[in-house]
Amino acid sequence: MKLHDKVLGSFKIGLKCMRSIYNSLVYLSDHKNTADHSKSRSDLHQYWKEPWDDLNLPQFYLEGETRSQFLVEIVKRYARPEARILEIGCNVGRNLNYLFLAGFRELSGIEINEKAIQILRQSYPEMAGHANIYNKSVEEAIRDFEDNEFDIVFTMAVLEHIHRDSEWIFSEMVRITRNFLITIEDERSVSWKHFPRNYKEIFESQIVKQVEVINCSAVEGLDSNFFARVLKKVRNVDKNLMF
């Protein structure tokens, strides 16, 4: 191996280590135990449109097979393949694609990040050809849907980032689902972009009843701060789309 190749290799390793240290410091800063919720909803929207750190770049969300498989197994317990399903915060579409591969075809997603949607269409063209994808914030998109338009509305690590000024979307989620809400969310972490909430308490204050809860400590890529909750709308449950 030539000397300059060795030097270049060492430089790349050093750069990778420095990036890893930087990302760890950013992560620890973001997940400190004191809340700094001084940033506005617009600040949060801008971050998710164009993340300025390396922690939430869209391409990283192509990985996460175990999390998507975990989601699919939950959905399959409560819906048939013809069910209409909406993901709020679909990012690059990994979850939607796993649902597509499992036989679900009536899929929709909301995603604020334009680059994430570009990656979605490039990475999962067959699924993208069937799905309705909305490049909007959830606040912009959710009021356009009809009452009971979807049989399942689900989120994974998205509601935890919803600003307190946008908590009205929770009642909108109840409005647009006919049967179930599924939330897989960090309910405990606190940072400038993490808002801890108990989603059982939030949704059961409306016409919804929790029917299943799982702590996600055993799911790769999640941890004990995450809870998967299945909540059933008390009225308008379509039994033809349930097992």
pLDDT in the model for residue 2: 53
Residue 50 lies in a domain: no
Q: Which of 170, 175, 141, 172 is nearest to 229 (CA)?
A: 170
Residue 23 has pLDDT above 50, yes or no: no
Average pLDDT of every residue of the chain: 88
pLDDT in tens, 45-67: 999 999 988 889 999 999 999 99
Same domain, 16 and 82: no
DSSP labels, 66-101: HHHHHHHHHHHHH--TT-EEEEES-TTSHHHHHHHH
Same domain, 70 and 170: yes
Residue 198 has pLDDT above 90, yes or no: yes
Same domain, 17 and 105: no
Residue 93 has pLDDT above 60, yes or no: yes
Same domain, 92 and 163: yes
Of 147-156, 181-190, 234-243, give the lowest mean pLDDT range. Answer: 234-243
| Cβ-defined contacts of 54-61 (< 8 Å, 24+) | 54/19, 54/22, 54/23, 54/26, 55/23, 55/26, 55/27, 55/30, 58/91, 58/92, 58/113, 58/115, 58/116, 58/119, 59/92, 59/119, 61/91, 61/92, 61/94, 61/116
Q: How many domains does the chain have?
A: 2
pLDDT in the model for residue 53: 84
pLDDT band at 35 (very low <50, low <70, confident <90, very high): low
Q: Residue 26: which domain range?
A: 1-30
Same domain, 194 and 112: yes
| pLDDT > 90 in the chain, percent | 79
